[in-house]
């Protein structure tokens, strides 16, 4: 596929690995459906790299995708990958069905912050509670991107959005705290500004037996970054006189607004207000997994039959 379409100098992949990979080849020919500066291209790349690094069998790792801008990642990932586009917020339910039908599978769920913590919040809680063997990514861009930048459950206090033009006044929902409370056994948060950590967590999650929740903080330049310039509400976002109207500036802001978990232990609630705490929050490898427990109960129920 390489070389079929002209490649502009700024589009040349910088890493030799990229050229050899499926993602690298597709980058040479694919015109992105995402806005310039969106983080979803980075996420699609990393996902594909991990898939190739570990030589994962696509049939055993179906990708179940919710509804949002990130759904377009399905065009970026490997052609052989099994992909199911679920209803908005219902990807956990579809993944559960797949896993129960074929317990050898380990589904990978893509979900936006709106998809997972808004309309799909209920499904997310029960996925975590059951400890179903799967990986669920929450792509947190602090906004409902696809439908025009409405405020989401994750929109930071003081941030502007299409539905909060005078700034968000609600408390935000924290996907990590929710996952921990609901009982997920592997819980971590990182950002697109930390790609190596992203790959590390993903690889660890693929080895884990149980529900792995990985939140990735990612920029929506169009609806979050551009609206949140250095004006109304800026003091709540730590903009320090800087704008966020390009991908680079947004990634810089995400880095500045992230606090490592070890550092966070020594900070007050006030200091952590509106920050993203990043790191691994839980790893428990000895908890019962849903499909195995189901098989155990089924055996008891069937007796000698
Ligand atoms: C049942 C239902 N309700 C509402 C919608 C409209 N809708 C589509 S995507 C979306 C928001 C997605 O936001 P998020 O999950 O944060 O993803 P992003 O677009 O930001 O990547 C909404 C409300 C829908 N598709 N289906
Ligand atoms: S609207 Fe936001 S999330 Fe959607 S593609 Fe554009 S930058 Fe990305």
> The CATH number of the domain where 56 resides is what?
3.40.50.970
Nearest ligand 1 atom to the CA of 144 is 13
200 C-alpha vs ligand 2 centroid, how far in Å?
Answer: 25
Nearest ligand 1 atom to the CA of 67 is 9
Decide the pairing of beta strands 276-283 and 258-260.
Answer: parallel
For a pocket test of ligand 1, which of 37, 67, 91 has the largest count of ligand atoms closer than 8 A to its C-beta? 67
Rounded CA separation 217/36 (Å)? 17
Average pLDDT over residues 258-264: 97
Q: Residue 238: pLDDT above 60?
A: yes
**More confident call, 23 vs 244:** 244
User: Tokens 């052989």 sit at which residue?
Assistant: 80
Ligand 1, atom 12, residue with closest C-alpha:
68
> Do 116 and 66 share a structural domain?
yes
pLDDT digit string (tens) for 54-105? Answer: 989 989 999 999 999 999 988 877 667 789 999 999 999 999 999 999 999 9
> Do 287 and 152 share a structural domain?
yes
With vertex at residue 44, the alpha carbon angle to CA 164 and CA 191, rounded to the nearest 5 degrees, is 55
> For the chain, what is the domain count?
2
Q: Count Cβ atoms within 10 A of the Cβ of residue 191 and give its class: 0-12 exposed, 13-18 middle, 19 or more buried.
A: buried
Establish if 302 belongs to a structural domain.
no
Average per-residue pLDDT for the chain = 89
User: Tokens 């589009």 sit at which residue?
Assistant: 11
> Do 224 and 141 share a structural domain?
yes
**More confident call, 5 vs 144:** 144
220 C-alpha vs ligand 2 centroid, how far in Å?
Answer: 5
The answer to whether 2 and 30 have CB atoms below 8 angstroms apart is: no
Rounded CA separation 239/257 (Å)? 9
Establish if 20 belongs to a structural domain.
yes
Task: Identify the helix (H) or strand (E) that includes residue 294.
Answer: helix 290-302
The answer to whether 88 and 64 have CB atoms below 8 angstroms apart is: no
> Ligand 1 pocket by C-beta < 6 Å: which residues?
67-70, 88, 112-115, 119, 139, 141, 143-147, 152, 220
Nearest ligand 2 atom to the CA of 219 is 7
Spatial CA neighbour of 187 closest among 140, 137, 152, 122: 137
> Do 259 and 117 share a structural domain?
yes
Spatial CA neighbour of 66 closest among 12, 121, 133, 14: 121
The per-residue pLDDT for 89 is 98
The pair of structure tokens assigned to 168 is 């968000």
The per-residue pLDDT for 237 is 87
The per-residue pLDDT for 210 is 98
Decide the pairing of beta strands 108-112 and 83-85.
Answer: unpaired
> Do 183 and 151 share a structural domain?
yes
The per-residue pLDDT for 217 is 98
> Do 81 and 16 share a structural domain?
no
With vertex at residue 70, the alpha carbon angle to CA 23 and CA 60, rounded to the nearest 5 degrees, is 60
Nearest ligand 2 atom to the CA of 40 is 8
> Do 27 and 119 share a structural domain?
no
Structural domain of 166: 32-296
Establish if 303 belongs to a structural domain.
no
> Do 150 and 255 share a structural domain?
yes
> Do 223 and 146 share a structural domain?
yes
pLDDT digit string (tens) for 99-131? Answer: 999 999 999 999 999 999 999 999 999 999 999
> Do 86 and 24 share a structural domain?
no
Ligand 1, atom 11, residue with closest C-alpha:
144
HSE-up of 290 (CA within 13 Å, CB side)?
A: 25
Q: What are phi and psi of 90, to 5 degrees?
A: -105, 10
Residue 279 DSSP label: E
Q: Residue 304: pLDDT above 80?
A: no
Nearest ligand 2 atom to the CA of 224 is 2
> Do 242 and 214 share a structural domain?
yes
**Sheet containing 63-65: order of strands:** 83-85, 63-65, 108-112, 134-140, 211-217, 186-191, 276-283, 258-260
> Is the pTM of the predicted complex or chain greater than 0.85?
yes
- 8 — pLDDT class (breaks 50, 70, 90): very low
Ligand 2, atom 2, residue with closest C-alpha:
220
- 305 — pLDDT class (breaks 50, 70, 90): confident
Rounded CA separation 295/298 (Å)? 5
The per-residue pLDDT for 276 is 97
- 17 — pLDDT class (breaks 50, 70, 90): very low
Ligand 2, atom 5, residue with closest C-alpha:
34
The 10 Å Cβ neighbour count of residue 115 is 32
The per-residue pLDDT for 26 is 61
> Do 54 and 16 share a structural domain?
no
> Ligand 2 pocket by C-beta < 6 Å: which residues?
34-35, 38, 40, 69, 141, 145, 220-223
Nearest ligand to the CA of 113 is 1
Residue 225 DSSP label: I
Nearest ligand 1 atom to the CA of 71 is 21
The per-residue pLDDT for 300 is 95
Long-range contacts of 295-299 (CB under 8 A, 24+ apart): 295/103
């Amino acid at each position: 596929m390489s070389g079929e379409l002209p490649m502009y100098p700024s589009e040349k992949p910088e890493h030799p690995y990229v050229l050899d990979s499926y993602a690298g080849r597709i980058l040479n020919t694919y015109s992105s459906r995402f806005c310039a500066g969106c983080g979803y291209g980075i996420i699609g790349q990393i996902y594909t790299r991990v898939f190739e690094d570990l030589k994962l069998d696509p049939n055993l790792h179906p990708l179940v995708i919710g509804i949002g801008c990130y759904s377009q990642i399905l065009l970026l990932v490997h052609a052989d990958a099994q992909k199911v586009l679920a209803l908005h917020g219902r990807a956990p339910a579809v993944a559960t069905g797949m896993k129960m039908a074929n317990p050898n599978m380990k589904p990978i769920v893509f979900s936006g912050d709106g998809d997972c913590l808004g309309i799909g919040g209920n499904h997310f809680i029960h996925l975590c509670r059951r400890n179903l063997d799967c990986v669920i990514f929450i792509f947190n861009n602090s906004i409902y991107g696809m439908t025009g930048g409405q405020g989401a459950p994750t929109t930071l206090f003081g941030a502007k959005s299409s539905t909060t033009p005078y700034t968000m006044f609600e408390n935000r929902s924290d996907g990590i705290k929710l996952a921990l409370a609901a009982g997920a056994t592997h819980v971590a948060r990182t950002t697109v500004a930390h790609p190596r950590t992203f790959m590390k967590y993903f690889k660890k999650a693929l080895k884990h037996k149980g529900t792995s929740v990985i939140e990735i903080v990612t920029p929506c330049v169009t609806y979050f970054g551009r609206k949140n310039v250095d004006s109304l509400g800026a003091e709540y976002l730590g903009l320090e006189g800087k704008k966020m109207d390009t991908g680079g500036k947004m990634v810089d802001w995400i880095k500045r607004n992230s606090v490592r978990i070890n550092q966070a232990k020594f900070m007050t609630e006030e200091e952590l207000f509106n920050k993203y705490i990043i790191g691994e929050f839980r790893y428990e490898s000895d908890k019962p997994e849903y499909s195995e427990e189901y098989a155990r109960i089924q055996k008891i129920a069937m007796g000698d039959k």
